[in-house]
Amino acid sequence: MRNPVQDYLEQIVEQCGDSGGEVAAYIPELAAADPDRFALCLASVDGQVYEVGEADHRYSIQSMSKPFTYALGLHDQGVEAVARKVDVEPSGDAFNEISVSPDTGRPKNPMINAGAITASSLVSGDSGDARFARALEWYGRFAGRELELDTSIYSSELGTAHRNRAIAHMLREFGILEGDPEEVLDQYVRQCSVAVDTRDLALMAATLANGGRQPRTGEQVLDPTLVEHVLSVMTTCGMYDAAGDWVTAVGIPAKSGVSGGIIGILPGQVGLAVFSPRLDAHGNSARGVALFERMSTDMELHLMHVSRGSRSALRSSYSLATARSTTRWQGADQEVLERVSDRARVYELHGDILFAGAEAVVRQVVQDAPELAIFDLTHVNDIAEVSRVTLLALRDRLREEGSEGIAVDPDGVFPDPDAGTDQASPIFTDLPTAIEWCERQLIRTHCGPRKEPDPVEDHPLVRDLDGAALEAVRAAMTRRTVPGGEVVLEAGGGFAGIHLIVAGKAVAEDTGPDGELMTLVTMGPGTSFGELALGTGEVQETTIRAATELELLVLSADDLARITEDDPAVALPIWQAMARDGYRVADRALRRSAVRAG
């Protein structure tokens, strides 16, 4: 089954086509880049990656290395020591501006070149080679694999790094850099020349989105408090002199690189990466900016978007094999459900369903590929627009596969745009009713040609008997008609025999924790009640009421006692059949209760 998230990403890539711009020309190797290459990757905080385009094409990381180098400096030296060397104020300048504070000599922030060169010097190590080796290993821990230096980019960039060389010597003059500025410059250029692909960058971004824990390896790479620090600086400074426009239009922490990449982080949800080499006037990927703006609008990514921000959407999922309805099915119907009930699944959602939550639900459903899917929205507070669209797209994909998705939505949090048409999905106010609907659908689909079940002959009590035992039961049974609404068995009464329903419906009722009467099970023709009292000290624990007019066949307690006393050999198979049916009913109730408790 196609994943709607993948479909959405492919759709917006097609809609956000060429946005103009030119490749970076000041570095010969970058000037030779194919301007039409493209990739978009979205990585969830649990490691799922969606890809469009050439996700495995490698290019130099360039300035997208800056937040990770800054993070390493913070990790090695501490926030206060780093703050003495580089500030965190937006500069409003281009990335390569020679920009320092006139009174302290500190660079304005670590996202411009002056601050990034300073941050490189703060990585622990007794030489430029040692510091670069440490930075390379650090980047790889965020990406989840070992990364390598692109030597051709390194040579090309180092040979043209005249402005950055001037910045390094100026920083040495102000005492911001210590030691040989050429060594620090060489380290910085190598860091910018590390080869990555768009998948790497999405996972690096997702690691920051996940509070510093790499989604696939599970390693806690960076302390969460330092993640907050890094993301704050990225938000205000990551897009250089376009930072104000970016925060307004997109509103997520981000960093661009002149190779054509942009990474973005939505904390707690996803990491994003786009690669398209044509740059705008600010040195940011033109098509990348357009795509981020579109995704921010569609997916409600903006940090200032008002939401309660619940992270976990999928509370639990389970098949109908472990959570059947309260309806007792008979004969062939029951046999069909025993065989195919695992083809229907319940997905219980809760909280506020943001994009990341909807994506997790979609991924689970695509993996399960159920024939019928019940989305229980009873505990959902709110559904973001992007999540609503994503879940509706999931319903459409299910239908394309010959499946169906239905909802339990007592509070109307997920209105169906197709309501009132043939395309509308079934909506229920409670889960048991939805499960019963699915059971009926499974029976209708999988039962095949068969004779109409006989409510008496197909009941396990009768079906499993033959010879003298069958004749004894048939002879002892008496017919009884009960008007709708009348109590058949009262809770607390003694064992009153086996009541087999020939026509109509009955319900078993009990008092809930809040004192209100609740229906435990609904029974139709071919099912029976009363036998469970044999396992509870011969005390009827629930009240059995006729939901409609009932026609019953009753094998009374006195008749059972008489058969047992007159001919124990005849009585034995009757008691065995009763025990088997009672066990089946009790087992199903216990499994249903276990799923609810879980």
Residues with catalytic function: 63, 66, 188, 240, 258
| Cα–Cα distance, 80 to 108 (Å, whole number) | 15
Tokens for 308, please give them.
Answer: 């309660």
Give the closest residue to 258 by CA, choosing from 240, 278, 233.
278
| Cα–Cα distance, 262 to 254 (Å, whole number) | 7
DSSP-based three-state secondary structure for 195: strand
DSSP structural state of residue 539: B
Mode of pairing for the β-strands spanning 194-197 and 254-256:
unpaired
CB burial of residue 493 (10 Å; 0-12, 13-18, 19+):
middle
Q: Are 543 and 510 in contact (CB under 8 A)?
A: yes
DSSP structural state of residue 428: E
The DSSP code sequence of 333-381 is HHHHHHHHGGGEEEEEEEEEE-HHHHHHHHHHHHHH--SEEEEEEEEEE
Cα angle, residue 73 at apex, residues 71 and 78 outer, rounded to 5°: 100
Residue 144 one-letter amino acid:
G
**Strand locations in 100-181, DSSP E?**
148-149
| Cα–Cα distance, 47 to 92 (Å, whole number) | 35
Q: Are 446 and 329 in contact (CB under 8 A)?
A: no
Q: Are 504 and 557 in contact (CB under 8 A)?
A: no
Mode of pairing for the β-strands spanning 517-523 and 327-328:
parallel
Contacts of residue 323, Cβ cutoff 8 Å, sequence gap at least 6: 346, 435, 591, 592, 595, 596
